[in-house]
Amino acid sequence: MVGGRENPRLVSSKLTPGRQCIGTPDCLDCLLNIVLVALVDLVHPHQHMELAGIFCICIHSLSCPHKTPPHPFYQETRRPNLHSQPHIQRKASSTDFPSHIYLNLLSDTMAEKKEVEEVGYGRLTSTDSRILDYTLNNPDTLTKYKSAAQISQKVLEAVSALCVAGEKIVTICDKGDKLLDEEIAKVYRGKKILKGISHPTTVSPSSFVTPYTPLLSDEAEAARTLEEGEAVKIQLGAQIDGFGTIVCDTIIVGPVEGRNVDLLLATYYANELLLRLMVPPGLLATGTDEEKAKAAKVKAPTQSKITSLLEKVVKSYDCNLVEHTTSWQFERNEIEGKKKIILAPGDGTKGDGTPEVGDVWGVEMGVSLGSGKIKNFENRATLHRRTTLTYALKRPSSKKILNEVVKKFGTFPFSLRQLEDERDAKVGVVECVRGNVFRQYEVVGDKDGETVGRLLTTIAITKNGLQKLAAPPALDLSKLKTEKKITDEEVLAILEQPLAKETKAKSKSKKKKPAKKAAGAAAESSDEE
């Protein structure tokens, strides 16, 4: 298909544009080329055969929609390329033109030809690679995810320690990115693997919902500092070979008191509930085969049902879900995949797809002390991401930053602060956004100006259950005292469920307290006081 229409040049449905053309009567151009060679041979037999071959190859390369020189007169077995195309083989027949002409003519050209596949912000030659499996079925994939996750969690802990009253937000973000670069440089040394930051360090104060990373060149925003008692959302991430992990945590600057306690507890338990609702039905079922089969037939909860259950949790602490909180499926070089779950969709927008074994997700939870309604803030949008669309840029500054983004970040999010020339970036990004080359992330916050809490966990769903790859640190519930608690039995029953099957090694160790029991223990301790 070309431009949504069937290409009339293709006679056979077996051939599609982009496939390797080996010269076949199924292709009209190849067929015309064969006839042309025969006619030239009749006029100039034998002595001008090479000239005829060269002429026909030139004609074919310009006209054939497969964009590959024809090879209709020799036997070839093609290696499978990076897109897992099957072996293509054609045997010469008695009516074919003598094969030595094209073999001699094209040997040098085909030896130098390399098939390439764009992978993020680099290129991988097929001469150096075999067909690769980028799913979780390949152990290397999960290993790379885990390596990226370890970096993300380590830097998150370090950045959290930097968040003290009076510290500038832009300084924290800059230090966080430097720490990410340092840790990323330590892994997979000497290997030709693309690696980098999957999400820049962002620090979103109080009522900010989306990631926030100010610029040094914007004096007013660069001067903003953290305040005592402020709820701060820290988000960052790393990627190895295109397998990105992102993590976000909410911390309180200084002592945790008053309504901030309710916010942290509501966000924590809502996140734990959502993670359990992400586990495919029947995956952790026990008992007889019949009981397991019955459990597997249970339908996964709808997204409206998920929102309804989560609302019961947050309302127990007099909070509300932040509208349009979205969890995305992660793929290689992609943090916004085919599937998504949208919580509390304000305009009726619906998500698409359900979690399955083999998926990697970025699970997000947003909770507000206010209504949960959101609005765009007037702050400059500094977070962007390259799209897969192309556009003929005119400004030199636009072309410059596009080239820089392709090399440094690929299709992962980046901040204008990370680019070589911040001032040029602010000018050049305008055309890139207008031409849809870049996607711009607006600065969004709570409509009522209320404090917001947010968590983001990168998970992998395997046959053994849900595995947290990059997750915020466990909340110390013993230090959070409140009179509020969850009472809904359906919610408590789900919180009691495990995330994964217990292995033999784990069963010998001390078991962790289930979320339901932890919620009850926290409430009981507060009652005693």
pLDDT digits (tens, 9 = 90+) for 8-34: 333 333 333 333 444 444 455 555 655
397-to-129, 433, 525 alpha-carbon distances in Å: 36, 13, 60
What are the tens digits of pLDDT across the range 359-403?
A: 999 999 999 999 999 999 999 999 999 999 989 999 999 999 999
Distance CA 515, CA 520 (A): 9
pLDDT tens across 162-185, in order? 999 999 999 999 999 999 999 999
Q: What does the alpha-carbon distance between residue 386 and residue 68 come to, in Å, rounded to a whole number?
A: 30
CA-to-CA distance for 488 and 461, rounded, in angstroms?
27
Q: Is the pTM of this model over 0.85?
A: no
Model pLDDT, residue 89:
38
Q: Find the helix packing angle between 259-277 and 303-315, rounded to 10°.
A: 150
Residue 285: its pLDDT value, please? 86
CB 310 within 8 A of CB 266: no
Which residues make Cβ contacts (< 8 Å) with residue 324, sequence separation at least 6?
A: 342, 343, 344, 345, 346, 349, 374
Q: At what angle do helices 515-528 and 259-277 cross, to 10 degrees?
A: 160
Least confident of 69-73, 148-152, 408-412: 69-73
Per-residue pLDDT band for 291 (boundaries 50, 70, 90) equals: confident
State mean pLDDT over 307-332. 97
* Sequence-ordered list of residues with C-beta below 8 angstroms from that of 220, at least 6 positions apart, any chain: none
In this prediction, residue 495 carries a pLDDT of 97
- pLDDT 10s digits, 181-199: 999 999 999 888 999 999 9
**Which amino acid type is present at position 357?**
V
Q: What is the pLDDT of residue 191?
A: 83
- Give per-residue pLDDT as tens, 410-431: 999 999 999 999 999 999 999 9
Write a three-state SS string for 470-494: ECCCCCCHHHCCCCCCCCCHHHHHH
The structure tokens listed for 428 are 């050049």
Residue 88 has pLDDT above 50, yes or no: no
328 membership: H or E segment, kind and range: strand 325-330
* Average pLDDT score over the chain: 81
Q: Residue 458: which H helix or E strand, with range?
A: strand 452-462
DSSP-derived pairing of the beta strands 243-252 and 89-90: unpaired
Given a cut of 90, whether residue 515 has pLDDT beyond it is: no
Instruction: Band the pLDDT of 38: cuts 50, 70, 90.
Output: low
In sequence order, the 6+-apart residues with CB closer than 8 A to the CB of 302 are: none
Domains of the chain, CATH where assigned: 1-113 (no CATH), 139-381+442-472+480-528 (3.90.230.10), 388-441 (1.10.10.10)
What is the structure's pLDDT at 277? Answer: 97
Q: Poorest-confidence range of 50-59, 255-264, 276-285, 498-507?
A: 50-59
Q: Which residues contact 404 (CB under 8 A, 6 or more apart)?
A: 419, 420
Cα Rg of the chain, angstroms: 29
Q: How far is CA 187 from the centre of its chain?
A: 20
What is the per-residue burial (b if ≥16 Cβ within 10 Å, else e) of 318-334?
ebbbbbbbebbbbbbbb
pLDDT band at 447 (very low <50, low <70, confident <90, very high): very high
CB 279 within 8 A of CB 462: no
Residue 496 has pLDDT above 70, yes or no: yes
How confident is the model at residue 346, as a pLDDT?
80
pLDDT of 122 reads: 37
Residue 349 is predicted with a pLDDT of: 82
Q: What is the maximal distance between C-alpha atoms in the chain?
A: 105
Cα angle, residue 441 at apex, residues 303 and 195 outer, rounded to 5°: 90
Locate 73 and state its tokens: 């007169």
Q: Are 217 and 441 in contact (CB under 8 A)?
A: no
Strand ranges for 191-291 from DSSP E: 195-205, 231-240, 243-252
Which pair of tokens denotes residue 240?
Answer: 């190895």
Q: Where are the beta strands (DSSP E) in 30-85?
A: 76-77
Cβ(266)–Cβ(316) under 8 Å?
Answer: yes
Q: Percent of the chain, pLDDT > 90?
A: 64
pLDDT digits (tens, 9 = 90+) for 215-242: 999 999 999 999 999 999 999 999 999 9
